[in-house]
């Protein structure tokens, strides 16, 4: 994919950033993917709290954990920290 | 002039004149660190703060590096900011000067020119500010304390102009100006404040896609000072150069507008020519030396010698076209440099003037005089000698040694 | 002095990240977790500022930014001066009626290099002047951004690229500077240490640091799998074992009064729970060379130093 880069006349001054990093997907860094066993999960949300990438969300409506694989780098912290061992890292 | 406002006449030295101007400019944040010969500025300003004469947050920082840093971030937060320094402090700020211009922080700084160590020397030369000529700052050199005062008030308007948004350095010669009493006309507080106005912020569209004002505001978050790779760094620098290109026009406008209320002109704000229209020989210099040169020009003119002077007030941006035009009819020019560019064939002012003329038909004989390093005094007799040298060059039609030293023991 | 802010894990999980996804920290970077958690502690609008270093670089690769709050970076050695300028500006602009918000808090982030070493002058100056801001040190114990060089915060025996474990020298010869104690010596209102495994403790302390009038210093422990040569999935676990071994005890000093925080207090009260440093060291490749006959005595040295510092801390906390 080639990105059309902007000219100096088009970008804001002072090197102000003009894209949120949420448009930069880091999900393709991973080799292993966390897979959650809904049965074992107690919804403690520790994985949401510890994830360095903010790639696990707590959905209050559904009262459930959601993985955002667009950003998950596959570090495995969630699986390591899960008190009930509900998360397993699987080769992508 | 009718519109010229009533002004008080105060006996002030250069530093006091600068502090007075800062006091009148509605500065929000000042952050500074004392260093000779700038100390009086910080001390006077501290007194203004202590006596409630200014509505300024004065941050008495632990170093010049932090002074410049605090000015940059305060400026980014939306404050009008001011600092002052001299050689060692300016050198310590070096890294942050580029950050200030790169972040487009319209900081105003007085540089009281002083020699750089080693050996340590507290007296005047221009090696400190000349070392920062490529830092992306506008540089204005004042001839006397009156001009230092006037330039300070103009500087905020120039720096904060949305077409520019660049930091401005107002330079004045250490001791010669900073510590010498002079009668200085000062505007009333009201008129000065009105002239400076309140800071306006350009609009920018940042990462949230909203039209935001260019300042750190939680309502419209912007990120300033990222890491840019080769794909964008160059573009951001090019924008800075564009701002510099816009500067001459604005510097002249502000200077003209200021002249309306003060009655004081310094040439066109960029260059200040004296007896130059019909001059055959001319000196080019910066700062207080111009005063001495004028005395000599007057004497020479009385003797029938067609001598003139071109003082560069705005060294950054350098008014290249103006310099060429001013020298059109001059046959021999002496460029005076109060600093050395070691190994560079003459001083920086010489380099730049020489370079400005290269692609033009204007080719007077041109010679460089390095003078006054570490505060060595240059008196009218030395200036007269330079004009005599120029006359000699016109006679022999040759420049033997293009880089010369004034008052240096051989 | 402090508000009675109570929160559940779900409150934290639900709160939007001010340090957004899409940053480019390595997988398993605990410093990124620290950033997220500290920013979950805010009580209202803030302006953030960072020193040059991993967390700055990974969050601001132009044209992208991971900052959902106003943010500025200027250089490496001056983040406390950044905060000084911001705070001074907010104070005066508020006084002059030029900003709308009632209150904007200022948070500065820096690594160990930007704090122990090159940034200590600006930090000390800003704290002495009494600016109202929270300074967060994320301590990954080396200059990671430039390729794992040693800093004043690198522990004894660790191998880095400028203190490599050689055949003669066993990694870093010097000891870790007690930076938080140095900050307490500034007589500042709030100093605390925190470890991301104890996330509730960390967030509570960040909040206290934000709430306190005047400067606050939060020393957070931030395992770096890249520089520590550790398993990325173990970063949070390492941050727990560091506390359990008393390598990195948790405490706070409110107006200079030291007190142990719960996770460390448990160990003070039940010393048998204190784990040997070996357990901590063995998880990290940067200490691998210590597990050889030649350098094994360094492990004893580290144990002795840890014990000495722990005893000293207990004394400061009035526990003898
Ligand atoms: C004045 C200066 N010296 C050196 C550097 C190079 N440099 C950039 S980041 C860094 C190390 C940062 O280390 P630390 O503060 O521990 O943060 P980390 O990268 O580990 O998160 C260094 C040495 C610099 N940017 N500026
Ligand atoms: S090098 Fe270490 S601190 Fe830096 S981003 Fe990677 S894991 Fe985090
Ligand atoms: Mg580090």
Taking the C-alpha atoms of residue B367 and residue B393, their distance in angstroms, rounded to an integer, is 9
Q: Which tens digits make up the pLDDT trace of B158-203?
A: 999 999 999 999 999 999 999 999 999 999 999 999 999 999 999 9
Mean pLDDT of all residues in C106-125:
98
The SS3 call for residue C136 is strand
What's the whole-number average pLDDT of chain C?
98
Domains B8-202+229-262 and B271-405 share a fold: yes
Task: Please report the pLDDT score of residue B177 as a whole number.
Answer: 98
**Is 70 exceeded by the pLDDT of residue B293?**
yes
Mean pLDDT of all residues in C281-285:
98
Q: How far is the CA of B95 from the centre of ligand 1 (A)?
A: 14
- The candidate with the shortest Cα–Cα distance to B84, out of B13, B9, B16, is B16
Contact: A7, B214; criterion CB under 8 Å:
no
Q: Are C164 and C250 in contact (CB under 8 A)?
A: no
| B276 confidence band (pLDDT: 50, 70, 90) | very high
Taking the C-alpha atoms of residue A77 and residue C175, their distance in angstroms, rounded to an integer, is 29
Asked if the C-beta of C66 comes within 8 angstroms of chain A's C-beta atoms, the answer is yes
CA B14 vs. chain centroid, Å, equals: 14
Contact: C75, B95; criterion CB under 8 Å:
yes
What class is the B8-202+229-262 domain?
alpha beta
Domains and CATH numbers, chain C: 9-316 (3.40.50.970)
Whether ligand 1 lies within 6 angstroms of the CB of C146 is answered as yes
Q: How far is the CA of C119 from the centre of ligand 3 (A)?
A: 12
Q: Are B166 and B106 in contact (CB under 8 A)?
A: yes
Does an H or E element contain C64, and which? strand C64-65
Whether ligand 1 lies within 6 angstroms of the CB of C113 is answered as yes
Taking the C-alpha atoms of residue C302 and residue C209, their distance in angstroms, rounded to an integer, is 31
**Is 60 exceeded by the pLDDT of residue B2?**
no
How many other C-beta atoms can be found within 10 angstroms of the C-beta atom of residue C185? 13
Smallest CA–CA distance from C225 into chain A, residue: A75
Strand partners, A19: C64
Q: Which tens digits make up the pLDDT trace of A75-89?
A: 999 999 999 999 999
Taking the C-alpha atoms of residue C8 and residue C13, their distance in angstroms, rounded to an integer, is 9
Q: Which tens digits make up the pLDDT trace of B107-161?
A: 999 999 999 999 999 999 999 999 999 999 999 999 999 999 999 999 999 999 9
Taking the C-alpha atoms of residue C19 and residue B68, their distance in angstroms, rounded to an integer, is 27
Nearest-atom number in ligand 1 for the CA of C143 is: 13
The ipTM assigned to this model is: 0.98
Q: What are the helix (H) ranges across B182-311? A: 189-196, 233-262, 289-302
Whether ligand 1 lies within 6 angstroms of the CB of C53 is answered as yes
Whether ligand 1 lies within 6 angstroms of the CB of C193 is answered as no
Q: Which residue, judged by its Cα, is nearest atom 3 of ligand 2?
A: C224
Q: Is the pTM of this model over 0.90?
A: yes
| Structure-token pair, residue C145 | 């951004």
Smallest CA–CA distance from B228 into chain A, residue: A15
- In the block, residue with structure tokens 């802010």: C5
Please report, for chain A, the start and end positions of each structural domain, with discontinuous segments joined by +.
Answer: 25-91
Asked if the C-beta of B180 comes within 8 angstroms of chain A's C-beta atoms, the answer is no
Contact: A8, B202; criterion CB under 8 Å:
no
Mean pLDDT of all residues in C75-89:
98
Asked if the C-beta of A61 comes within 8 angstroms of chain C's C-beta atoms, the answer is no
Q: Which residue, judged by its Cα, is nearest atom 9 of ligand 1?
A: C53
Kindly list the residues of chain A whose beta carbon comes within 8 Å of any beta carbon in chain B: 5-8, 11-20
- The candidate with the shortest Cα–Cα distance to B110, out of B176, B192, B21, is B21
Backbone CA torsion sign across B349, B351, B253, B197: negative
**Is 90 exceeded by the pLDDT of residue B3?**
no
**Is 70 exceeded by the pLDDT of residue B1?**
no
Task: Please report the pLDDT score of residue B294 as a whole number.
Answer: 98
The architecture of the domain spanning A25-91 is: 2-Layer Sandwich (3.30)
Angle at C226 between CA C222 and CA C228, to 5 degrees: 65
Q: Are C213 and C255 in contact (CB under 8 A)?
A: no
Contact: C96, B223; criterion CB under 8 Å:
no
Segments of chain A scoring below 70 in pLDDT: 1-3
Taking the C-alpha atoms of residue C299 and residue A72, their distance in angstroms, rounded to an integer, is 36
Taking the C-alpha atoms of residue B223 and residue B171, their distance in angstroms, rounded to an integer, is 32
How many other C-beta atoms can be found within 10 angstroms of the C-beta atom of residue B160? 22
Q: How far is the CA of B238 from the centre of ligand 3 (A)?
A: 33
Mean pLDDT of all residues in C179-189:
98
| Structure-token pair, residue C134 | 């929270």
A-proximal residues of B, 184-203, CB under 8 Å = 202
Taking the C-alpha atoms of residue C55 and residue B185, their distance in angstroms, rounded to an integer, is 52
Q: Mutating which of B204, B229, B244 best tests the A interface, going by the most A Cβ atoms within 10 A?
A: B204
Contact: B206, A11; criterion CB under 8 Å:
no
Q: Which tens digits make up the pLDDT trace of C219-271?
A: 999 999 999 999 999 999 999 999 999 999 999 999 999 999 999 999 999 99
Taking the C-alpha atoms of residue C304 and residue C301, their distance in angstroms, rounded to an integer, is 5
CA C291 vs. chain centroid, Å, equals: 27
Task: Please report the pLDDT score of residue C286 as a whole number.
Answer: 98
B-proximal residues of C, 126-185, CB under 8 Å = 126, 128-129
Taking the C-alpha atoms of residue B379 and residue B382, their distance in angstroms, rounded to an integer, is 5
- CATH code given to domain B271-405: 3.40.50.920
Asked if the C-beta of C83 comes within 8 angstroms of chain B's C-beta atoms, the answer is yes
Contact: C37, A15; criterion CB under 8 Å:
no
Mean pLDDT of all residues in C279-307:
98
Phi then psi for B381, rounded to 5 degrees? -65, -35
For A34, half-sphere exposure in the C-beta direction (CA atoms, 13 angstrom radius) is 31
Which subunits count as partners of chain C given 3+ CB pairs below 8 Å? A, B
**Is 60 exceeded by the pLDDT of residue C7?**
yes
Q: What are the helix (H) ranges across chain C? A: 9-14, 30-40, 54-57, 79-95, 120-129, 179-184, 199-211, 225-228, 235-244, 262-269, 277-281, 296-316
Which residues are CB-contacts of B383 (< 8 A; sequence separation ≥ 6)?
B283, B289, B292, B293, B295, B296
Q: Are C107 and C46 in contact (CB under 8 A)?
A: yes
Strand partners, C193: C219
Q: Which tens digits make up the pLDDT trace of B42-62?
A: 999 999 999 999 999 999 999
Strand partners, C65: A20
The SS3 call for residue A75 is coil
Least CB-CB distance to A52: which of C30, C61, C237? C30
B307-312/B281-285 β-pairing: parallel
């Amino acid at each position: 994919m080639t990105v059309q880069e902007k000219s100096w006349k088009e970008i804001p001054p002072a090197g102000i950033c003009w894209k949120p990093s949420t448009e930069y997907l880091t999900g393709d860094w991973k080799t292993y993917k966390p897979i959650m066993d809904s049965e074992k999960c107690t919804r403690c949300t520790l994985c949401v709290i510890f994830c360095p990438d903010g790639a696990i969300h707590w959905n209050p409506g559904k009262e459930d954990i959601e993985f955002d694989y667009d950003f998950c780098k596959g570090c495995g912290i969630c699986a390591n920290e899960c008190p009930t061992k509900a998360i397993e890292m699987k080769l992508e | 002039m009718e519109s010229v406002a009533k002004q008080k006449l105060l006996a002030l030295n250069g530093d006091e004149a600068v502090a007075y101007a800062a006091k009148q400019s509605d500065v929000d944040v000042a952050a500074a660190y004392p260093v000779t010969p700038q100390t009086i500025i910080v001390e006077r300003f501290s007194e203004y703060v202590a006596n409630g004469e200014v509505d300024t947050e004065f941050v008495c920082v632990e170093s010049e590096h932090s002074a410049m840093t605090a000015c940059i971030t305060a400026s980014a937060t939306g404050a009008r900011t001011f600092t002052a320094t001299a050689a060692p402090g300016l050198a310590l700020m070096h890294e942050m000067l580029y950050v200030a211009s790169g972040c487009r922080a319209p900081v105003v700084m007085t540089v009281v020119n002083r020699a750089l160590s080693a050996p340590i020397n507290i007296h005047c030369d221009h090696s400190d500010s000349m070392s920062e000529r490529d830092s992306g700052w506008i540089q204005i050199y004042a001839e006397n304390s009156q001009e230092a005062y006037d330039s300070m008030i103009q500087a905020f308007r120039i720096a904060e102009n949305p077409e520019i948004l660049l930091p401005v350095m107002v330079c004045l010669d250490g001791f010669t100006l900073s510590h010498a009493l002079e009668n200085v006309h000062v505007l009333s507080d009201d008129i000065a404040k009105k002239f400076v106005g309140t800071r306006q912020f350009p609009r920018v569209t940042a990462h949230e896609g909203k039209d935001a004002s260019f300042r750190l505001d939680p309502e419209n978050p912007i990120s300033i000072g990222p890491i840019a790779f080769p794909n964008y760094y160059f573009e951001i620098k090019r924008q800075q150069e564009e701002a510099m290109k816009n500067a001459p026009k604005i510097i002249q406008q502000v200077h003209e507008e200021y002249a309306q209320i003060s009655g004081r002109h310094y040439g066109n704000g960029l260059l200040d020519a004296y007896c130059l229209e019909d001059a055959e020989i001319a000196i080019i210099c910066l700062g207080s030396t111009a005063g001495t040169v004028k005395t000599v020009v007057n004497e020479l003119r009385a003797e029938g010698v067609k001598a003139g002077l071109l003082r560069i007030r705005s060294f950054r941006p350098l008014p290249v076209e103006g310099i060429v035009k001013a020298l059109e009819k001059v046959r021999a020019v002496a460029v005076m440099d109060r600093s050395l560019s070691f190994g560079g064939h003459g001083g920086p002012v010489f380099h730049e003037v020489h370079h400005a003329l290269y692609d033009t038909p204007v080719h007077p004989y041109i010679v460089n005089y390095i003078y006054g390093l570490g505060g060595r005094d240059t008196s009218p007799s030395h200036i007269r000698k330079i004009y005599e040298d120029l006359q000699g060059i016109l006679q022999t039609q040759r420049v033997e040694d293009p880089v010369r030293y004034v008052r240096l023991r051989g | 002095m402090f508000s009675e802010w109570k929160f559940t894990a779900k409150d934290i999980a639900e709160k939007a990240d001010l340090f957004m996804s899409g940053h480019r920290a390595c997988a398993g970077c605990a410093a990124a977790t620290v950033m997220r958690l500290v920013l979950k502690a805010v009580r209202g609008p803030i302006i953030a500022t960072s020193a040059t270093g991993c967390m700055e670089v990974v969050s601001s690769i132009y044209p992208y930014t991971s900052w959902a709050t106003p943010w500025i970076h200027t250089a490496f050695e001056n983040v406390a001066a950044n905060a000084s300028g911001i705070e001074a500006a907010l104070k005066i602009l508020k006084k002059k009626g030029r900003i709308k918000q009632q209150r904007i808090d200022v948070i500065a982030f820096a690594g160990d290099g930007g704090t122990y070493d090159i940034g200590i002058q600006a930090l000390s100056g800003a704290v002495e002047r009494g600016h109202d801001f929270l300074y967060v040190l994320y301590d990954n114990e080396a200059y990671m951004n430039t390729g794992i060089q040693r800093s004043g915060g690198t522990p004894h025996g660790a191998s880095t690229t400028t203190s490599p474990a050689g055949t003669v020298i066993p990694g870093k010869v010097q000891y870790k500077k007690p930076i938080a104690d140095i900050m307490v010596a500034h007589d500042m209102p709030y100093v605390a240490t925190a470890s991301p495994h104890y996330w509730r403790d960390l967030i509570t302390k960040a909040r206290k640091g934000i709430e306190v009038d005047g400067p606050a210093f939060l020393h957070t422990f931030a395992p770096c799998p890249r520089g520590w040569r550790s398993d990325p999935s173990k970063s949070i676990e390492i941050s727990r074992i560091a506390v359990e071994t008393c390598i990195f005890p948790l405490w706070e000093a409110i107006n200079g009064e030291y007190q142990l925080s719960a996770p460390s207090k448990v160990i003070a009260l039940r010393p048998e729970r204190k784990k040997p440093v070996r357990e901590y060291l063995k998880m990290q490749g940067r200490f691998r060379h210590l597990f050889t006959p030649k350098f094994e005595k360094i492990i004893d040295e580290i144990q002795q130093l840890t014990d000495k510092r722990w005893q000293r801390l207990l004394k400061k906390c009035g526990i003898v």
